[in-house]
Structure 1
Amino acid sequence: MKHVVITGANRGIGFEFARQYSEAGYKVSAVCRNNSKQLTELDVDIIEGIDVTKASDLLRMQETIGDKDIDILINNAGLLHNDELGDIDGGSLRAQYEVNAIAPLRVTEVLLDNLTEGSKVALITSRMGSIADNGSGSRYGYRMSKAALNAAGKSLALDLKDQGIAVVLLHPGYVQTDMVGNRGDITAEEAAQRLIQRIEELTLKTTGHFYHSKGDELPW
């Protein structure tokens, strides 16, 4: 049975990843800071109380997973604040950077021994991290942190390729989640379906690329 590990699995896209992979017959390790009723109703292993910005929590996550191989690692946990020019808060910027950029790299590093040849790492990023695609400005912390995540993902792809591990950077689309006040063009269910398809298509030939969930390659 293939094993998938998902961070931020208690709600939104993360929950849909957990639900859909579980229904497809995967063994799912659902990592979250706070559990949710809907998550407890799934046939998954819940690893709760994990703040992905804390080294001690990441160590506890790794100890819980133990020596189980991971076929797919999905770094999904994220944080969005609406930082506007004239109202920039350093704490807000740092918080987003910690969750969106540093944590996915640290999670991947902590679980590196669980990844084997053929494993895949998906980083759920955003086209708001694209410098070339930025046509509206604002949201400084989110844009900066996702651009940093994209840089980390590209380096991970290069560093892990010789081990047979593929890495992909994925933009889910404008999804109806709590993060955006349930505004959006598509449901979390549809976004997860698309993202799962992109992960399925991922190979070492396409490692290190930045894709929209629809399949279009996005500019850096």
Structure 2
Amino acid sequence: MRTVLITGANRGIGLGLTIAYLKMGTSVVATYRNEASSEELLSLCEKYDNLRVRHLDVTDYAAVSAFKNEFEQLDLLINNAGYYGPKGCSFGDTDVDEWRKVLEINTIAPLKLVEALYPVLEQSSEKRIAILSSRVGSMQENTSGGGYIYRSSKAGVNSVVKSLHNDLSPQGYTLLALHPGWVKTRMGGPNALIDVNQSVAGLVEVIEGSGDQQSGGFYNYDGQTIAW
């Protein structure tokens, strides 16, 4: 059975992606960091026998390295875990400790996860990796300034995706940077433009339709290319 790993799956887009792939009959390994905020995810185990739920802090690199032992092979990795950090962060008002935390989770951890899981991804003929980014990480579309912490973390992970594509696509890997849209989640807030179901449906379509021609690209949830 095809196996997909989804990180940060306890709520919002990660939970939506988990449900979508479970309904497709895929074997899903879904991770969470905090059990207290993961009741809905954990309850899915009673309904789906193709779900394994695991605790994982993506910045605990010893645990990340050992996590490959959960798999005989891994076909699709969706790195959804992320952290917004403090809102605002205008010029002259950046919290350095929070900046480090956001960069750790959003930029460094996705690469370390791919490195750790490389041996089990190698066992697959699919070798597909999707990393959730954000449109605010686009250099070309940054016309407003501000948002230094979150913007820089997503611009950084975009660079990670591009380098992974250059390094791994010759071995048959497909690498994607994906913008889920402005989604009505705890992070996106109530004024966001789309709901989780709309975002997830688009993301799944983009992921499942991707191949050599799409690898190394930055895509909106509706499939439109976003400028780096």
| TM-score normalised over the length of structure 1 | 0.95
Cα distance in 2 for partners of 1:16, 1:98 equals 24
TM-aligned CA deviation for residue 73 of structure 1: 0.3
Contact 1:176 1:184 in 2 (8 A): yes
**Paired residues for 1:128-167 under 5 Å:** 128-167=136-175
Q: Is 1:90 aligned to residue 92 of structure 2? A: no
1:118 partner SS: coil
Cα distance in 2 for partners of 1:99, 1:167 equals 19
TM-aligned CA deviation for residue 57 of structure 1: 2.2
1:117 partner SS: coil
Contact 1:177 1:183 in 2 (8 A): no
Give the equivalent residue in structure 2 for 1:12: 12
Map Cα deviations across residues 143-199 of structure 1 (whole Å, 9 max, x no partner).
Answer: 001001000100101111121110011001000111133431111121111100000
Contact 2:68 2:120 in 1 (8 A): no
2:125 partner SS: strand
Give the equivalent residue in structure 2 for 1:21: 21
Q: Give ranges in structure 2 of 5+ residues lacking alignment.
A: none
Cα distance in 2 for partners of 1:106, 1:27 equals 23
Letter in 1 for 2:100: R
**Is the strand fraction higher in 1 or 2?**
1
TM-aligned CA deviation for residue 12 of structure 1: 0.5
Number of residues of Structure 1 aligned to a counterpart in Structure 2: 217
After the TM superposition, which segments of 4 or more aligned residues of structure 1 sit over 2 Å from their partners?
Answer: 59-63, 180-183
1:178 partner SS: coil
Map Cα deviations across residues 94-147 of structure 1 (whole Å, 9 max, x no partner).
Answer: 111001000111111100011133221001000100010012221111100100
1:175 partner SS: coil
Cα distance in 1 for partners of 2:190, 2:63 equals 29
TM-aligned CA deviation for residue 52 of structure 1: 0.6
Cα distance in 2 for partners of 1:147, 1:76 equals 16
Contact 1:177 1:188 in 2 (8 A): yes
1:57 partner SS: helix
Comparing 185-194 with 3-12, greater Cα deviation is found at: 185-194
Question: Alpha carbon RMSD of aligned pairs, Å?
Answer: 1.2
Q: Give ranges in structure 1 of 5+ residues lacking alignment.
A: none
Q: Is 1:70 aligned to residue 78 of structure 2? A: no
Percent identity of the aligned residues? 38
Cα 1:55–1:210 change in 2 (3 A) is same
2:127 partner SS: strand
TM-aligned CA deviation for residue 59 of structure 1: 2.5
